[in-house]
Amino acid sequence: MNNDCEGYEVRVRVRKVMVVVRSWCYACQVLLLQNGTDLDGHTSPKFPYKPWKHPRPRSYNKNYSKESLSSQKSTGPPPHTTLQRHTKANRSLLIPRFHYPQGKPSNQTQLEVTLEAVRQVFQTFPNQQVTKDSFSTITKAAGCPLYWKAPLFIACGGEKLGYVELNTFLDYWRNLCSTCHDSASRFMHILTRSVSRNYLLPEDLMSLVQDVVDTHPGLTFLKEAAEFHSRYVHTVISRVYYCVNQSWSGQITLTELRRSDFLRVVQLLESEDDINQVTQYFSYEHFYVIYCKFWELDRDHDLFIDKNDLARHSDHALSTRLIDRIFSGTVTRGKTANNQQSQLNGQPDAKMSYTEFVWFLLAEEDKQHPRAIEYWFRCMDLDGDGYLSMYELEYFYDEQLQRMEAVGIECLPFEDCLCQMLDMIRPATPGKISLNDLKKCKMTPIFFDTFFNLEKYLDHEQRDPFASQRDHDTEMSDWDRYAAEEYELLVAEEGGNDNPAELGVDDDI
């Protein structure tokens, strides 16, 4: 670099401002770069220059083999559940089976003890053959409730021979216990007499209920009125399906049977001599009330009623629009032969059988029951979308207004009634009421009666608003209370005559 060269200044005007820039000749610029000095005279670092090194990651040159991974300690959070901690301690863990559709298998030793007890009972009978009348001892020795005896006798083939042999029963019981391990699955297998069908049909229960009629001490008076046996049997079976068959399919599944109290009630019959104390399903007083109510409506006594017959129920309390919905098939199952014949003759298809009337009366007198809520919800859901819209509520309430105006009763406009119902139900979705909304509400009977039962609606309007809540808090259900009151009235009307044959029956239901 030439020491005499001090560069030269260049004056440049930028936006009316004079700027002085020092410049160097070409030879000086080369010498400055070789000496490591920039053009402003600052010294730059000399080469070879080593840049700053980044630290290597922990995983650099690591060996990710299966052995090294298992030896390393986990850096994550500790397991927070028992299953995670147990799995971490033993990675070859096998989760034990926890789902048993046919019940959890019992100990084989217990089965042998049961079979030995059954063998000893069989040896007390001639030729080790037990008839139907004595089969209760075998049923108890096998550990089953007493009133399983008739279905179990039929399942073992006793109905064909008139008796059951020891070896036949032992083979049947071993096969039963090898596939069915709890009372519910065994009960279903015995009544269906088939492994391929996992549900109960109404005819499967007939042998059990008929055996209750024949052998229960609380129904000895009914033996003389054999024509009433079929009525009682069909009433009990209809009540069982009303309470147990939650799917409305006409087929009681194993899950529905386990969730219900039916098996417990059947076992209760063994220790309760008064059949009327068993208010679930088997009460004779309840049967008497149901059948008398049907007999009053069935004027031609053909065991079918039409719309006009049902309209006379409870002094014409029900609206005609609701009755039309009942007979439209929303809560009835298919068409009967009588209905098909009426269509061929050009008559309106509107017939209700006795078993369908059982469901109707149970739903009408106890609207708090889950099946009753579903029953009336189906009737009011005109379009079947799963919601009660304001239009559907107005459709049913319009007839109530006309009926109240016809008898000179001051009625509430629909808009005001609608506000009351929505405040009472508190639906989850504004503007429409779902089935779940009605099941959550404790005042559902008032809601239904407002729209299609004029007599009960006026009764609710005149009663203490807290009276229904007090009644709901008692142990008796609305149906039990109704049946007890009606039975006393019917007995008083009959003048103490306990002969049921005066009602009259036909041979076929």
Cβ contact 36:46 at 8 Å:
yes
Question: What H or E segment, with its residue span, contains residue 151?
Answer: helix 149-155
Residue count (the chain): 509
Cβ neighbors of 395 (< 8 A, separation 6 or more) are 321, 382
Tell whether 354 and 397 lie within a shared domain.
yes
pTM, to two decimals = 0.76
Residue 41 has a pLDDT of 55
Q: Using the 8-state DSSP alphabet, how is residue 326 labeled?
A: I
DSSP helix/strand/coil, 221: helix
Tell whether 177 and 269 lie within a shared domain.
yes
Cβ contact 192:200 at 8 Å:
yes
Residue 179 has a pLDDT of 87
Structure tokens of 202? 């109404």
Tell whether 267 and 301 lie within a shared domain.
no
Residue 337 has a pLDDT of 40
Tell whether 213 and 355 lie within a shared domain.
no
Tell whether 186 and 218 lie within a shared domain.
yes
Spell out the per-residue pLDDT of the chain, length 509, in tens: 455 555 555 555 555 555 555 565 656 665 666 665 555 555 555 545 555 566 666 555 555 555 555 555 555 556 567 666 666 666 655 667 666 666 666 766 788 999 999 999 999 999 999 999 999 999 999 999 999 999 999 999 999 989 999 999 999 999 998 888 889 999 999 999 876 788 999 999 999 999 999 999 999 999 888 889 999 999 999 999 999 999 999 999 999 999 999 999 999 999 999 999 999 999 999 999 999 999 999 999 999 999 999 999 999 999 999 999 999 989 976 544 444 444 444 345 679 999 999 999 999 999 999 999 999 999 999 999 999 999 999 999 999 999 999 999 988 999 999 999 999 999 999 989 999 999 999 999 999 999 999 999 999 888 765 565 555 556 789 999 999 999 999 999 887 555 544 455 544 44
Which of 277, 306, 321 is the last residue in one of the domains? 277
Tell whether 410 and 454 lie within a shared domain.
yes
Cβ neighbors of 222 (< 8 A, separation 6 or more) are 213, 228, 229, 232, 284, 500
In a domain, 131, yes or no: yes
Domain that includes residue 374, residue range = 297-333+349-463+478-491
Which of 248, 277, 306 is the last residue in one of the domains? 277
Tell whether 383 and 433 lie within a shared domain.
yes
265: CATH: 1.10.238.220
CA neighbor of 441 nearest in space, from 427, 452, 460: 427
Tell whether 327 and 266 lie within a shared domain.
no
d(CA 393, CA 433): 10
In a domain, 91, yes or no: no
In a domain, 482, yes or no: yes
C-beta atoms surrounding 317 within 10 Å: 18
CA distances from 241 to 235, 280, 396 (A): 10, 12, 29
In a domain, 289, yes or no: no
Could you tell me which residues are beta bridge partners of residue 131?
A: 163
439: CATH: 1.10.238.10
Cβ contact 448:437 at 8 Å:
no
Tell whether 266 and 318 lie within a shared domain.
no
In a domain, 408, yes or no: yes
d(CA 366, CA 372): 7
In a domain, 303, yes or no: yes
d(CA 189, CA 149): 14
Tell whether 314 and 222 lie within a shared domain.
no
Task: Give the number of domains in the chain.
Answer: 2
Tell whether 255 and 304 lie within a shared domain.
no
Tell whether 143 and 246 lie within a shared domain.
yes
In a domain, 240, yes or no: yes
DSSP letters for 188-257: HHHHH--SS--EE-GGGGHHHHHHHHHH-GGGGGGGG-GGGHHHHHHHHHHHHHHHH-TT-SS-EEHHHH
In a domain, 483, yes or no: yes
